[in-house]
């Protein structure tokens, strides 16, 4: 039976085949801090930062406690650059055995905790690594190790819970339909990331909604209701049509985004019809949109 450990072993082999000279640092949680996996990482010349927990690595933590008593641990306290009440505390132990059964695998143990008087309990983390760790670079290593949570929250959590439907099993089709859906989802996520990074118009519309899920639901509704020329037109309409955006637009969207949309179904009832203030268009359907044709004259939301 296949399992995650066999899958990552195949992945590491393929990774090194595709990129024989590229340098990597593998950043994983405590489930990966085991002897077989570390041997695989070393076999493929991959550096690592792996989380460890006292409950799962009792022998390692006992070794660290003994090293502290014997004065063999390196300890350092750094003040926070932005908040003088916060201090960053580090403990480093070199050549620590990973566990009792694999004492031949020696790693560098790094423990970090944040002393903040506003917290009831200090933030505390610990890792093992094969990177060279010193008092000078311990802070940078800690920041890199904790970045894994940023990846977890902003990537996987977003894909599962913010409207991308990653948690849904698209198990239809005879062969590779589910893989096609996953690739399409990742491509959509990539495009959205680029828009969030580079497009002020997209960000202005996105910030009007509390969650990404509600934003994507609103975008999806327009795909159901209208024939769309560009996604930029949808974003622009969400900004100045539905949400009542009253500030000046962050960029000139260009004439190709006006008109925004037209009704998908002929005979769509025109309800709630009203004029925009000073604009030459009118709202149609339940959400509405400008009729195809002209840029609204005298638009109060016009760009500067």
* Domain membership flag for residue 195: no
Q: Do 130 and 217 share a domain, yes or no?
A: no
Domain count, the chain: 2
Q: Do 120 and 221 share a domain, yes or no?
A: no
Q: Do 140 and 273 share a domain, yes or no?
A: no
The pLDDT value given to residue 277:
37
- Render each residue's pLDDT in the chain as its tens digit; 304 residues: 467 788 889 999 999 999 999 999 999 988 899 999 999 999 999 999 999 999 889 999 999 999 999 999 999 999 888 888 889 999 999 999 999 988 899 999 999 999 888 888 878 999 999 999 998 999 999 999 998 888 777 788 888 887 787 777 666 667 777 788 888 888 988 988 888 888 888 888 888 888 878 888 888 887 777 776 677 777 777 776 655 555 666 655 555 444 444 444 444 333 333 333 333 333 333 344 443 334 444 443 333 3
Which of these three, 110, 128, 145, is where a domain ends? 145
* Domain membership flag for residue 194: no
The pLDDT value given to residue 173:
66
The pLDDT value given to residue 265:
40
* Domain membership flag for residue 172: no
Cα 140 from chain centre: 20
pTM greater than 0.75: no
Closest listed residue to residue 253, CA positions, set 268, 239, 267, 242: 239
- Give the burial class of 133: count Cβ atoms within 10 A of its Cβ; 0-12 exposed, 13-18 middle, 19 or more buried: buried
Q: Do 43 and 140 share a domain, yes or no?
A: yes
Quote the domain boundaries for residue 223: 208-304
Q: Do 132 and 23 share a domain, yes or no?
A: yes
Which of these three, 112, 145, 178, is where a domain ends? 145
Which of these three, 124, 145, 166, is where a domain ends? 145
* Domain membership flag for residue 52: yes
Closest listed residue to residue 47, CA positions, set 23, 69, 31: 23
Q: Do 49 and 120 share a domain, yes or no?
A: yes
Q: Do 15 and 86 share a domain, yes or no?
A: yes
The pLDDT value given to residue 295:
40
Q: Do 218 and 114 share a domain, yes or no?
A: no
């Amino acid at each position: 039976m296949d399992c995650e450990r066999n899958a990552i072993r195949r992945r590491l082999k393929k990774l090194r085949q595709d990129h024989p000279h590229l340098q990597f640092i593998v950043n994983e949680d405590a489930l990966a801090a085991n002897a077989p996996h570390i041997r695989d990482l070393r076999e493929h010349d991959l550096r690592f930062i792996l989380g460890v927990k006292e409950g799962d690595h009792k022998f390692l933590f006992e070794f660290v406690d003994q090293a502290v008593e014997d004065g063999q641990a390196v300890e350092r306290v750094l003040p926070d650059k932005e908040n003088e009440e916060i201090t960053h505390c580090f403990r480093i132990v070199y050549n620590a055995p990973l566990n009792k059964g694999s004492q031949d695998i020696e790693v560098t143990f790094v423990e970090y905790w944040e002393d903040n008087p506003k917290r009831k309990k200090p933030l505390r983390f610990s890792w093992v690594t094969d990177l060279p760790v010193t008092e000078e670079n311990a802070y940078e290593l800690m920041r890199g190790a904790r970045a894994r949570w940023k990846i977890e929250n902003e990537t996987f959590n977003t894909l599962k819970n913010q409207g991308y439907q990653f948690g849904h099993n698209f198990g239809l089709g005879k062969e590779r339909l589910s893989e096609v859906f996953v690739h399409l989802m990742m491509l959509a996520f990539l495009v959205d990331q680029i828009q969030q990074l580079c497009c002020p118009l997209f960000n202005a519309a996105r910030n009007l909604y509390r969650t990404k899920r509600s934003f994507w639901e609103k975008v999806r509704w327009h795909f159901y209701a209208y024939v769309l020329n560009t996604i930029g037109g949808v974003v622009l309409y969400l900004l100045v049509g539905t949400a009542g955006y009253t500030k000046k637009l962050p960029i000139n969207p260009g004439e190709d985004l006006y008109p925004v949309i037209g009704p998908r179904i002929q005979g769509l009832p025109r309800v709630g019809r009203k004029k925009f203030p000073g604009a030459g268009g009118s709202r149609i359907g339940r959400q509405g949109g400008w009729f195809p044709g002209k840029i609204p004259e005298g638009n109060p939301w016009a760009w500067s």
